[in-house]
């Protein structure tokens, strides 16, 4: 019985490759009252830094994880319990805690990645959760589904969540006859059909936002709601990011480009740069990205305006989220979709869903539940 | 994403994918099929350490078992390259290169220059390097400096499976002769390697660990030893940056200089003998280019100026150790 009142806070697993993480600092004091979604402590991996959030309510009774110390995934970092639980019981819980093997977990959860065959080539995707609502996460230009590492599991608590690699991205097929917004949208549409998804709540970042809006304007029945995170497609302006991303050949060129993504430049780790470089060096990626960039963003101008098309018709419920420090697509575009709810975070950039993961997750969950 | 394969498999995959992509790529070497005139299973060997296993069945006629005559088949490979093919010749041990120096130094390396840029020689010569394999003095040398010395040759020495695949693909696509050095003790080492084809450009060092107190510059098997030394030193509060050169010619001076200028302490680690080694080369260049940034004398950690011993005990002592690297870092930092 008593175990039910004691909830461990453990080292999270953000992404397939994460084996361990470093506690960088606690955000709450012992004895703090905690509600689900509260950020409790900060953790850093070789890829990214982020906050560990509470899934339960209670009181932070014990901080076990020491700052600047590395712990394996699932290690005990702290204890949440009701104030009525005696100290001795917390002591016993901490002393007897055994870190579960992460390998077993992976087997329980089934394959991390799956593939769907479409007429535009193989599409890699991940599926999490089993809720009634279906959410599809669509990444941006040069990104992949692993970019949702802080979001996918949180959103899967209340929904069935799919994240896909668009054609030419991640581990999806690297050749595409006509890289364009229409082709990308067709890929998304066909992907949904293949998996038997009649309609979904679409969450699109950057170019993925434009794709989501384009699908909503073409085939409204497939879209239950839209969450647009720093989306393309709501205005003409776009910075030099896309061209610089395509042109970057080595780490030195790529670092300043990737720094444009974040308000906090220190989030661009060596590992992140290496991962992007490894992707860019795969045969076929560079010419495909070049063609895609030329179709969507020639002359640093957004060529497609699915937002205007959507506004003219019967738009699904829309939520627009932006980081005010966005250096790639200006946050001023957020107001360009009439009827949409708009939330702008002051101290975040283009990757606001990473930099403000818990807030963004809560917004998406509420939007999906209310739509 | 995470698909771990060994360096042996990564090299096999690079050959496989380039042979599939480009019909002018073919492979020649001793026992790379089954041994000339050998009985039984035709694909039994795949080279002395099984690197080319399976390719003969997939690309019949494009893997050529050669006689034990390096001067003949390396010459044939160089000639085929000059005539538009992209041969990959496996020379087994780099130690055997002596008998075909003319084909490599005077022919392959000189064609582009002597024919006024009109000739290209896209040949790759793969060979095993390095000690620790109990293979004695004639099969264990790290002779990379000999080839770096020759203008017209490119010299590659990967430290892991990911780099081996991307660098070998780049070597095959490159229009100049490439000496591709494979450390025999690394064949079994596994890393994440994409199933897709990819090329890593030459002249780009890889900073495998960030650090602010000292820089360790190295390549090949010594990268892991440098990482071990850096991990040990980190526990004592010394943060080392480890630079894996990956390609020795061309060499990424920018990355080396940038790191040396930030840390001020440099240790050059090389499995070759000390005289005229890669370590000596990097030390000399850094002394010339960033003398003012140096806070202590550059240290070299190399094998001794002796043949590689056959005695296992002595061979282990011969190869630069993580302890020796860590001591060298401390020695520089004592200044």
Distance, CA of A218 to CA of A185 (rounded, Å): 9
Do B224 and B276 belong to one domain?
A: yes
Phi, psi of B54 (to 5 degrees): 90, -20
Looking at the structure, tell me whether residues B224 and B158 fall in a common domain.
no
Q: Are A232 and A296 in contact (CB under 8 A)?
A: yes
pLDDT at A2 over 70: no
Token duo for residue B198:
């990819």
Give A-chain residues touching B199 at CB under 8 angstroms.
281, 283
Q: Contact, A296 vs A140, CB < 8 A?
A: no
CATH code of domain A2-98: 2.40.50.100
Which of B192, B218, B241 is the C-terminal boundary of a domain? B192
Domain identity same for B88 and B230 = no
- For the cut 80, the answer to whether the pLDDT of residue B195 exceeds it is yes
Alpha-carbon distances, residue B92 vs B69, B155, B156, B329 (angstroms): 12, 16, 16, 35
> Cβ contacts (< 8 Å) between B163 and chain A: which residues?
none
Q: Among B167, B192, B217, identify where a domain stops.
A: B192
Contacts of B71 (CB under 8 A, 6+ apart): B99, B100, B102, B103
CA–CA dist B30, B37 (Å, integer): 12
Catalytic residue ranges of B: 139
Q: B174 and B243 share a domain?
A: no
Spatial distance between the Cα atoms of A290 and A247, rounded to a whole number of angstroms: 9
Could you tell me if residue B74 is inside a domain?
yes
pLDDT single digits (tens) B153-190: 999 999 999 999 999 999 999 999 999 999 999 999 99
Please check whether residue B201 lies inside any domain of the structure.
Answer: no
Query: What is A345-371 written as a DSSP string?
Result: ETT--TTHHHHTHHHHHHHHHHHHHH-
Q: How many domains does chain B have?
A: 2
What's the CATH number of domain A108-370, 1.10.1270.20, 3.90.1150.10, 3.40.50.1820, 3.40.50.620?
Answer: 3.40.50.1820
Q: Which of A171, A174, A270 sits opposite B207 (nearest CB)?
A: A270
Comparison of pLDDT for B238 and A57, the residue scoring more: B238
Range of the domain at B81: 4-192
B246 CA: distance to closest CA in chain A (Å): 14
Q: Residue B114's domain is classified under what CATH number?
A: 3.40.50.970
Identify the CA nearest to A131 among candidates A163, A157, A162.
A157
The verdict on residue B197 lying in a domain is no
Same domain for B132 and B235, yes or no, is no
Locus of tokens 């002018």:
B24
Sequence-distant (≥ 6) Cβ neighbours of residue B134 within 8 angstroms: B310, B312, B315
User: Is B138 found in the same domain as B216?
Assistant: no
Q: What distances in angstroms separate CA A95 from CA A8, A76, A88, one per listed residue?
A: 12, 10, 10
Give me the mean pLDDT over the B100-119 stretch: 95
Interchain pair A146, B1: CB under 8 A: yes
Enumerate residues 299 to 338 of chain A having a beta carbon within 8 A of any beta carbon in chain B: none
> What's the pLDDT at A312?
85
Across the interface, of B162, B194, B210, the residue whose CB is closest to A270 is B210
d(CA A323, CA A342): 11
Helix (H, G, I), strand (E, B) or coil at B320: coil
Classify residue B290: in a domain, yes or no: yes
CA distance A50 to A21: 10
ipTM of predicted assembly, 2 dp: 0.89
Q: Is A22 on the interface with B (CB under 8 A)?
A: no
Q: In B64-81, which positions are buried (b, 16+ CB within 10 angstroms) versus exposed (e)?
A: bbbeeebeebbbbbbbbb
CA–CA dist B265, B299 (Å, integer): 9
Task: Inspect the interface and report whether the beta carbons of A281 and B166 lie closer than 8 Å.
Answer: yes
Cross-chain CB nearest to B196 (options A16, A113, A283): A283
Residues of chain A within CATH 3.40.50.1820 domain(s) are 108-370
Helices (H) and strands (E) in chain B, counts: 12, 14
Is A107 in a helix, a strand, or coil? helix
Q: So what's the pLDDT on residue B37?
A: 46
Burial (0-12, 13-18, 19+ Cβ within 10 Å), A360: buried
CATH code at B321?
3.40.50.920
**A146 contacts in chain B (CB < 8 Å):** 1
The distance of B314 to chain A (nearest Cα, Å) reads 38
pLDDT of residue A1: 42
Q: Contact, A166 vs A190, CB < 8 A?
A: no
Say whether both B179 and B233 belong to one domain: no
| Phi, psi torsion values for A334, nearest 5 degrees | -60, -30
Q: Is residue B276's pLDDT more than 60?
A: yes
Residues B73 and B161 in one domain: yes
> Which chain A positions have a beta carbon within 8 Å of B201's beta carbon?
249-250
Tens digits of residue pLDDT in A319-340: 999 999 999 999 999 999 999 9
In a domain, B200, yes or no: no
In this predicted structure, the answer to whether residue A199 has a pLDDT above a threshold of 60 is yes
Please tell me if residue A281 touches chain B, with a CB cutoff of 8 Å: yes
Q: Do B210 and A113 touch (CB under 8 A)?
A: no
- Which one of B134, B157, B192 terminates a domain? B192
Q: What is the largest CA-CA distance in chain A?
A: 66
The number of C-beta contacts closer than 8 angstroms across A and B is 33
Which candidate from B166, B196, B210 shows the least CB-CB separation from A174?
Answer: B196
Same domain, B19 and B112: yes
**Phi, psi at A136, each rounded to 5°:** -120, 125
**A103/B contact by beta carbon, under 8 A:** no
**A69-126 residue pLDDT tens:** 889 988 999 999 988 889 899 999 999 998 877 654 544 454 578 999 999 999 999 9
Q: For residues A216 and A138, is the Cβ–Cβ distance under 8 A?
A: no
Does B59 fall in a domain?
Answer: yes
The CA distance from A173 to the nearest CA of chain B, in Å, is: 10
> Residue B110's CB: how many other CB atoms inside 10 A?
18
A90: number of Cβ within 10 Å: 16
Q: Is A282 on the interface with B (CB under 8 A)?
A: yes
Residue in chain B closest to A18 (alpha carbons) equals B2
Q: Is B207–A249 a contact, with Cβ atoms under 8 angstroms apart?
A: no
From B191's Cα to the closest Cα of chain A, the distance in A is: 12
Same domain, B42 and B165: yes
| Nearest CB to B201 within list A16, A249, A278 | A249
A16 touches chain B (CB under 8 A): yes
Q: How far is A140 from chain B (nearest CA, A)?
A: 19
Nearest partner of A210 among A188, A181, A238, judged by Cα: A181
Average pLDDT of the residues in B80-105: 95
Contact A249 B210 (CB under 8 A): no
Q: What is the pLDDT of residue B44?
A: 55
Which residue of chain A is at minimal alpha-carbon distance from B2? A17
Confidence of residue A204 (pLDDT cuts 50, 70, 90): very high
Question: CB under 8 Å to A333, separation ≥6 — which residues?
Answer: A231, A234, A235, A237, A322
A250 vs B: CB within 8 A: yes
pLDDT digits (tens, 9 = 90+) for B143-158: 999 999 999 999 999 9
- Mean of pLDDT over chain B: 94
Report yes or no: A278 at the B interface, CB cutoff 8 Å.
Answer: yes
CA distance A290 to B227: 37
Band of residue A206 on the pLDDT scale cut at 50, 70, 90? very high
SS (H, E, C) A187-247: HHHHHHHHCCCCCEEEEEECHHHHHHHHHHHHCHHHEEEEEEECCCCCCCECCCHHHHHHH
A17 pLDDT above the threshold of 70: no
**Cis status of the peptide bond prior to B250, with omega within 30 of 0:** yes
User: What pLDDT is attached to residue A102?
Assistant: 61
Q: What percent of chain A has pLDDT over 70?
A: 95
Share of chain A above pLDDT 90, in %: 70
What CA–CA distance (Å, rounded) separates B209 from B226? 10
Rounded CA-CA distance B291/A324 in Å is 45
B42 pLDDT band, cuts 50/70/90, is low
As annotated, the residues of chain A forming the CATH 2.40.50.100 domain(s) are 2-98
pLDDT reading at A254 higher than 70: yes
Residues B188 and B212 in one domain: no
Exposure of B200 by Cβ count < 10 A (0-12 exposed, 13-18 middle, 19+ buried)? buried
B243 bridge partner residues: B207, B217
CB contact under 8 A, A16 and B2: yes
Q: Are residues B140 and B176 in the same domain?
A: yes
């Amino acid at each position: 019985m008593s175990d039910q009142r004691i909830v461990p806070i453990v080292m999270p697993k953000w992404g397939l490759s994460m084996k361990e993480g470093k506690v960088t600092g606690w955000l709450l004091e012992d004895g703090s009252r905690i509600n689900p979604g509260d950020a409790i402590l900060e953790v850093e991996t070789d890829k990214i830094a982020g906050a560990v959030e509470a899934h339960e309510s209670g009181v932070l009774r014990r901080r076990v994880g020491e700052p600047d110390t590395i712990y394996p995934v699932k290690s005990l970092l702290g204890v949440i319990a009701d104030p009525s639980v005696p100290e001795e019981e917390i002591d016993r819980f901490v002393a007897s805690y055994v870190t579960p093997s992460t390998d077993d977990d992976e087997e329980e959860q089934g394959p991390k990645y799956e593939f769907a065959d479409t007429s535009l080539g193989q599409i890699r995707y991940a599926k999490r959760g089993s809720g009634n609502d279906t959410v599809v996460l669509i990444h941006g230009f040069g990104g992949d589904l692993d970019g949702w590492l802080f979001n996918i599991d949180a959103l899967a608590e209340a929904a069935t969540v799919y994240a896909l690699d668009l054609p030419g991205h991640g581990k999806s097929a690297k050749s595409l006859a006509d890289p364009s917004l229409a082709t990308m949208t067709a890929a998304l549409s066909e992907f949904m059909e293949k998996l038997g998804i009649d309609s979904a709540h679409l969450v699109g970042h950057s170019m993925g936002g434009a794709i989501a809006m384009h699908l909503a304007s073409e085939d409204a029945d497939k879209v239950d709601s839209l969450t647009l995170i720093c989306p393309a497609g709501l205005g003409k302006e776009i910075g030099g990011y896309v061209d610089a991303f395509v042109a970057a050949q080595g780490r030195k060129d790529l670092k300043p480009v990737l720094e444009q993504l974040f308000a906090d430049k220190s989030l661009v780790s060596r590992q992140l740069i290496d991962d992007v470089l490894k992707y860019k060096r795969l045969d076929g990626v560079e010419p495909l990205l070049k063609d895609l960039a030329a179709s969507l963003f020639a002359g640093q101008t957004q060529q497609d305006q699915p937002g205007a098309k959507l506004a003219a018709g019967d738009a699904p419920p829309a939520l627009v989220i932006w980081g005010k420090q966005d250096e790639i697509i200006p946050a001023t575009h957020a107001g360009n979709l009439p009827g949409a709810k708009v939330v702008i975070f002051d101290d975040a950039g283009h990757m606001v869903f990473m930099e403000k993961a818990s807030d963004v997750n809560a917004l998406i969950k509420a939007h999906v539940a209310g739509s | 994403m995470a698909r771990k394969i060994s360096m042996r498999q990564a090299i096999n995959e690079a050959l496989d994918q380039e042979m599939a992509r480009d019909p002018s790529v073919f492979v020649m070497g001793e026992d790379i099929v089954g041994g000339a005139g050998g009985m039984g299973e035709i694909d039994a060997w795949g080279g002395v350490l099984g690197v080319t296993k399976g390719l003969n069945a997939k690309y019949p006629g494009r893997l050529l078992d050669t006689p034990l005559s390096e001067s003949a088949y390396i010459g044939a490979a160089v000639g085929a390259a000059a005539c538009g093919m992209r041969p990959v010749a496996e020379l087994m041990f780099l130690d055997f290169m002596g008998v075909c120096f003319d084909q490599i130094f005077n022919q392959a390396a000189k064609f582009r220059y002597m024919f006024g840029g009109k000739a290209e020689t896209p040949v790759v010569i793969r060979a095993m390097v390095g000690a620790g394999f109990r293979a004695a003095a004639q099969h264990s040398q790290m002779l990379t400096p000999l080839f770096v010395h020759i203008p017209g040759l490119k010299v590659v020495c990967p430290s892991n499976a990911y780099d081996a695949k991307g660098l070998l693909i780049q070597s095959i696509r490159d229009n100049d002769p490439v000496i591709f050095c494979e450390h025999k003790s690394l064949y079994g080492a596994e890393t994440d390697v994409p199933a897709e084809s990819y090329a890593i450009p030459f002249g780009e060092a890889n900073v495998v660990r960030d650090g602010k107190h000292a820089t360790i510059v190295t390549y090949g098997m010594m990268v892991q030893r440098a990482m071990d030394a850096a991990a040990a030193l980190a526990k004592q509060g010394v943060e080392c940056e480890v630079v894996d050169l990956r390609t020795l010619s061309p060499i990424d001076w920018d990355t080396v200089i940038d790191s040396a200028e930030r840390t001020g302490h440099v240790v050059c680690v090389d499995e070759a003998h000390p005289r005229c080694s890669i370590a000596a080369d990097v030390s000399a260049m850094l002394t010339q280019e960033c003398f003012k940034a140096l806070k202590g004398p550059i240290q070299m950690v190399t094998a001794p100026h002796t043949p590689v011993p056959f005695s296992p005990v002595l061979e282990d002592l011969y190869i630069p150790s993580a302890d020796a690297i860590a001591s060298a870092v401390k020695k520089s930092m004592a200044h």
